[in-house]
């Protein structure tokens, strides 16, 4: 049971390479274990075992279980926002191409481990500060998308703000589903339909 506002700082900062390596091993193992068993059943001992290090070492670098999840979330968000910054210059073009870029970006952004992402977002109880950061990133993304659509001449919806909220969420969640059940149908097919849906909606 993760609880907000706990100590998240490590008790020891790595100074040698092997320490950095151990830290990475822990995080990689944690990502694997959390996404496989969920947060509650992803015990610290299991993580240590999977990382092939002792439980003691784990607690050298993370003060508690929550801190591990928090670190994973921070890493994901950092990676995500970095991608977004590069994605902006894809704005001009036909409406469909813009939507397609948006969908592709979402898909790419979740290829690694959708299970883990779900757990981080939905099971984690983080500090207010961390949650604010996430919210800000999300809002920033929505605003970014909004601007692109606001400029485009083909866009024709009653309420752009709500439309963008709806679209971003829909694309995001369908991406999750796609990544979580990869066997059912081809990714391109779903991508096409998703693009169609959003494009037709925006055109009015």
Contacts with DNA by CB under 7 A lie at: 1, 12-19, 21-22, 40-45, 53-57, 59-60, 63-65
Q: Which is nearer to DNA, 65 or 110 (CB)?
A: 65
Torsion of CA 66, 72, 78, 83, to 10 degrees: -150
- Cα 70 from Cα 127, distance rounded (Å): 9
Q: Which residue has the tokens 């910054």?
A: 85
Q: Specify whether the CB–CB gap between 53 and 21 falls below 8 A.
A: no
Give the x-and-dash track for 2-41 against a copy of itself (CB under 8 A). Answer: -----------------------------------xxxxx
CB of 183 to a copy of itself, least distance (A): 14
Contact partner at residue 158 from DNA, a copy of itself, none, CB < 5 to 8 Å by partner kind? a copy of itself
Q: Give 30's contacts (C-beta < 8 A, 6+ positions apart).
A: 42, 47, 51, 68, 69, 72
Structure tokens at 67: 């801190």
- Smallest distance, Å, CB 15 to DNA? 4
Residue 4 CB: number of other CB atoms within 10 A? 13
Summarize as ranges the residues that interact with a copy of itself (CB under 8 A).
1, 37-41, 118, 122-123, 125, 157-159, 162-163, 166, 169-170, 173-174, 177, 185, 189-190, 192-194, 196-198, 200-201, 203-204
């Amino acid at each position: 049971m993760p609880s907000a506002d706990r100590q998240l700082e490590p008790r020891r900062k790595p100074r040698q390479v092997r320490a950095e390596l151990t830290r990475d091993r822990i995080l990689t193992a944690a990502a694997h274990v959390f996404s496989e068993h969920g947060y509650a059943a992803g015990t610290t001992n299991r993580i240590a075992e999977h990382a092939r290090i002792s439980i003691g070492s784990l607690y050298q670098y993370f003060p508690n279980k929550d801190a591990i999840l928090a670190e994973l979330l921070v890493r994901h968000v950092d990676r995500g926002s970095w991608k977004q910054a590069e994605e902006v210059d894809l704005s001009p073009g036909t409406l469909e191409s813009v939507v397609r870029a948006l969908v592709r970006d979402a898909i790419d952004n979740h290829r690694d481990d959708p299970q883990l992402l779900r757990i981080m977002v939905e099971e984690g109880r983080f500090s207010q500060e961390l949650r604010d950061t996430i919210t800000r990133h999300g809002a920033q993304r929505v605003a970014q998308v909004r601007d692109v659509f606001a400029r485009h001449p083909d866009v024709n919806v009653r309420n752009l703000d709500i439309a963008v909220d709806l679209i971003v969420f829909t694309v995001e969640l369908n991406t999750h589903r796609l990544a979580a059940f990869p066997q059912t149908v081809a990714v391109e097919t779903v991508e096409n339909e998703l693009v169609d849906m959003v494009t037709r909606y925006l055109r009015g």
